[in-house]
Amino acid sequence: MSQDIVQDSLEAPLGATAERQAVVSAAGATPGKDWVIVTRGIKREYDMGGEIVRALRGVDLAIRRNEYVAIMGPSGSGKSTLMNVIGCLDTPNAGEYWLNGTQVSKMSDDALARVRNKEIGFVFQTFNLLPRASALHNVELPLVYAGVPGDERRRRAKEALERVQLGARIDHRPNELSGGQRQRVAIARALVNNPSILLADEPTGNLDSQTSEEIMRVFESLADQGQTVIMVTHEPDIAAHARRVIVLRDGLVASDERRSTFVEKLGITTG
Amino acid sequence: MPFLEAVRLALQQIWVQKLKSFFTLLGVMIGVTFLIAVVSIVGGMSRYMTDTLVGKIIALNSFEVRQRPKINFQMTEERWRELNRRPRIKLDDVAPIAAALPSDARWAAYNVAQLPGESRFTARPKQLRVFTVTSDYFGIKRMEPVSGRLFNQQEYERGRNVIVVGQDVASHFFEGLDPVGRELTVRGLPYTIVGVMEKQGSVFGQSLDQFIVAPMTSPLNRVVAPHDVVAAVIVQAPSREAITTEMEAAREVLRVRHHLRPNQPDNFALETSDSALEFWNKIKSYLVIAGVALPAIGLVVGAIVIMNIMLVAVAERTREIGIRKSLGARRRDIMSQFLVESATLSTFGAALGVLTGFAFAKIIAMLSPLPAAVELWSVFLGVSIGAGVGVIAGVYPASRASRLDPITALRAET
């Protein structure tokens, strides 16, 4: 059971805490359709040369469809590890992780790869585009691994790039694009297969403040269109763009509040 | 990832690093080159031996009854002495041998020697291969005149001083003239030319057209061989199968005439084209061993090179592998990506090897009497082995790539 979950105010549009608590405590039960992510007591430990590092000590999360969540924390809080677990890049040592009604915490490597392909759209701090492929081909990649035939693939990739205002740059290589454009290609790639969640790891870490705002606006509009967005960051002003902020500390959830509360507490002004 | 995608990706990779890719596939290329070249040389020689060489020296479906075999490759001192001790085939042996053969067999006897000839039209004498023959010789050897005619019945019976000549003889002694009707002198005696024979060609660079032929009954026989011997009796069977029976018949006759006991070996030779080929087959087996060993070495080296280059490639593209995995590539997708890459690389190398093997064989055929023609099956073998080598060499690197942890891989430099 996690500690110190701060009470939401009753007008919270994100659903009552009581509901979340209920879902999280029902060990073994399949969560309802509305819940995209449910984690129950996620633990993740590593053996670092004899010493055991407990990165996650029992994390409970309940995230509904169409939420825009920021997961915040200082380095060492376990936020990267949590992101890896949520993104199905890593499996927890203990606990349950339900993604869209399926328990993925005990899946095989191949099955996890399928889930990553279909349900998760990653956006990385360092963009992680293939340097020698065009923007179009980069965006096509998830569809390649999904087995989509060539023509349909190209069409969908083109559409995705147009949605992020890069329709005129589809044949450019990453090194011919600015940082902001590269991140937008990455976003298009993340969305091309219509994933359940867009999972962004420090998406503005390598961008200047103006471009960062640009990208934050893209996320905002995606959230407005119904996409579930989960953003991991250590910067409070970036986190403040989300509508719900979960703070991790030492492998546990330290706080979980709406934006207004979070902003108020920290005295941040956002645009 | 669908196969064609993977192949396209692989070709792209190869193209991006052309020089490096070239050096990587060099080993496979050399191995396949050797394969193609050796097979074409051995194949060409084999065909040459069976079709040309042996067909010209020993006629088809025939055997010769001789004192010693015409084609001897393993001459030792002892064998030389044994051969010299043997009795010669006698003129008197011919009739009994002929009598023992079935009626559909053809036979002829001949003598042969190397003698100088002269004519009025040129001061230079020339060494000639002089044959004296019985009448069916031309039929068995399938030799036709291109001008003039062969000997007639009377010339055989009376032993007239008539000869037919080969093309080189005609052009040497009677350049620009029609030799028919003119005379050639051998050992002081003139012989009238009644015909010029068609071109026989050459064997390993030696011309077969420097001959003259006379009836065995003619005076020329006296200077070619002792009067009561023949160099050989050629027997031609109507089919390959009949050769054995006829050989046995001839063998029986001669063994009786030579008073051989059952446990004594033949002191004469019954030489078919097969026995001449036997030696070639032995040589061929050695060449085949070389033809397997050399390419094998090249291919093993090629495989090692490819494996190492692929390991480097995997290390250099660790981050790329992490990216692909994060997007949903399964282990087998990564595995097949790299396997296809190494297989494409080595197949490419094999294809190049086929081209250079071709060129190699062509050059050898041009610069030497060795005939070398590329055999299609060796091309298929070369390319498939090439592809196979790439797959085998790529298994370990591809498997390592597929087992990379995506989280660690994403943190890598490239």
Transcribe B2-21 into DSSP letters: -HHHHHHHHHHHHHHTHHHH
pLDDT value, residue B364: 82
Over range A79-91, report the average pLDDT: 93
Contacts of B377 (CB under 8 A, 6+ apart): none
Contact B324 A114 (CB under 8 A): no
Q: Is the dihedral of CA B299, B303, B309, B310 positive or negative?
A: positive
Within B265-341, strands assigned E span: 269-272
| H-helix or E-strand spanning residue B189 | strand B189-197
Contacts of B16 in chain A (CB under 8 A): 132
Burial of A151 (0-12, 13-18, 19+ CB in 10 A): exposed
Contact B330 A109 (CB under 8 A): yes
Q: Is the dihedral of CA B216, B220, B222, B224 positive or negative?
A: negative
Q: How far is B15 from chain A (nearest CA, A)?
A: 12
Q: How far is B22 from chain A (nearest CA, A)?
A: 20
Task: Tell me the pLDDT band of A37, cut-offs 50, 70 and 90.
Answer: very high
- Among A259-263, B187-191, B258-262, B278-282, the minimum mean pLDDT is found in B278-282
Considering only the beta carbons, identify the residue of A90, A114, A129 that sits closest to B328.
A114
Residue scoring higher pLDDT (B173 or B370): B173
Over range A37-47, report the average pLDDT: 92
Inter-residue contact A197 to A37 (CB < 8 Å): yes
Over range A100-108, report the average pLDDT: 88
Inter-residue contact A52 to A45 (CB < 8 Å): yes
pLDDT value, residue A269: 58
Instruction: Write phi, then psi, for B293 (nearest 5 degrees).
Output: -65, -45
- The pLDDT tens digits of the residues spanning B195-238 come to 999 888 777 667 888 999 999 999 999 999 988 899 999 998 88
Q: How many CA atoms lie within 13 A of B167 on its CB side?
A: 12
Q: How many CA atoms lie within 13 A of B285 on its CB side?
A: 5
Q: How far is A128 from chain B (nearest CA, A)?
A: 6
- Among B161-170, B289-298, B389-398, the minimum mean pLDDT is found in B289-298
Residue B5: closest CA among chain A residues belongs to which residue? A144
pLDDT at A10 > cutoff 60: no
pLDDT at A89 > cutoff 90: yes
Tokens 């190398």, located at residue: B349
Tokens 């054995």, located at residue: B244
pLDDT value, residue B54: 61
Question: What whole-number percentage of chain B has pLDDT above 70?
Answer: 95
Contacts of B331 in chain A (CB under 8 A): 109-110, 113
Say which amino acid occupies B18.
K
Helix, strand, coil share (%) of chain A residues, nearest 5: 35, 25, 40
Angle at CA of residue A101, ends A98 and A103, nearest 5°: 40
Q: What is the mean pLDDT of chain A?
A: 88
Contacts of A235 (CB under 8 A, 6+ apart): A202, A204
pLDDT value, residue A55: 92
Q: How far is A243 from chain B (nearest CA, A)?
A: 26
Question: How many angstroms separate the CA atoms of A77 and A104, rounded?
Answer: 23
pLDDT value, residue A4: 35
Inter-residue contact B330 to A110 (CB < 8 Å): yes
pLDDT value, residue A266: 77
- Among A111-125, A220-234, B40-54, the minimum mean pLDDT is found in B40-54
pLDDT at A240 > cutoff 70: yes
Using DSSP bridges, classify how beta strands A228-233 and A197-201 pair: parallel, antiparallel or unpaired: parallel
Question: How many angstroms separate the CA atoms of B193 and B171, rounded?
Answer: 13
pLDDT value, residue B52: 67
Within chain A, strands assigned E span: 35-48, 51-64, 68-72, 94-99, 102-103, 120-123, 197-201, 228-233, 244-249, 252-258
Inter-residue contact B241 to B28 (CB < 8 Å): no
Task: Tell me the pLDDT band of B303, cut-offs 50, 70 and 90.
Answer: very high
Query: B412 at the A interface (CB within 8 A)?
Result: no
Using DSSP bridges, classify how beta strands A252-258 and B62-66 pair: parallel, antiparallel or unpaired: unpaired
pLDDT at B62 > cutoff 60: yes
Question: What whole-number percentage of chain A has pLDDT above 70?
Answer: 93
Residue A150: closest CA among chain B residues belongs to which residue? B5
- Among A74-83, A233-242, B270-279, the minimum mean pLDDT is found in B270-279
Inter-residue contact B344 to B313 (CB < 8 Å): no
Best mean pLDDT range from A46-55, A225-234, B137-146, B230-239:
A225-234
Q: Give one word for B129, left, alpha or beta, with left for phi > 0 and alpha for psi -120 to 50.
A: beta
Please tell me whether residue A67 adopts helix, strand or coil conformation.
coil
Substitution target from A107, A139, A141 for chain B, most B beta carbons within 10 A:
A141
Task: Tell me the pLDDT band of B111, cut-offs 50, 70 and 90.
Answer: very high
Beta bridge partners of B397: none
- The pLDDT tens digits of the residues spanning B344-382 come to 989 989 999 999 988 988 888 888 777 777 778 888 988
Inter-residue contact B13 to B339 (CB < 8 Å): no
- The pLDDT tens digits of the residues spanning A122-176 come to 999 999 999 989 999 999 999 999 999 989 999 999 999 998 999 898 899 999 9
Burial of A39 (0-12, 13-18, 19+ CB in 10 A): buried
pLDDT value, residue B200: 83
pLDDT value, residue B390: 92
Buried b (16+ CB within 10 A) or exposed e, A204-235: bebbeeebbbbbbebbeebbeeebbbbbbbbe
Q: What is the mean pLDDT of chain B?
A: 87
Instruction: Count interface pairs A-B at CB distance under 8 A.
Output: 56
What DSSP string describes A92-113? -SEEEEEETTEE-TT--HHHHH
Give the dihedral of Cα atoms A96, A99, A104, A110; nearest 10 deg.
-160
pLDDT at B11 > cutoff 90: no
- The pLDDT tens digits of the residues spanning B156-171 come to 888 889 999 999 999 8
Contacts of B93 (CB under 8 A, 6+ apart): B65, B230, B233, B253, B254, B257
Fill in the DSSP letter of residue B22: H
Length of chain B: 414
pLDDT value, residue B376: 84
pLDDT at A72 > cutoff 50: yes
Over range B2-17, report the average pLDDT: 83
Over range B248-277, report the average pLDDT: 86
Interface of A with B (CB under 8 A): 84, 87, 89-90, 109-110, 113-114, 116-118, 122, 124, 128-130, 132, 141-142, 144-147, 189
Inter-residue contact A270 to A263 (CB < 8 Å): yes
Angle at CA of residue A95, ends A89 and A98, nearest 5°: 65
Inter-residue contact B345 to B180 (CB < 8 Å): no
pLDDT at A75 > cutoff 60: yes
pLDDT value, residue B53: 63
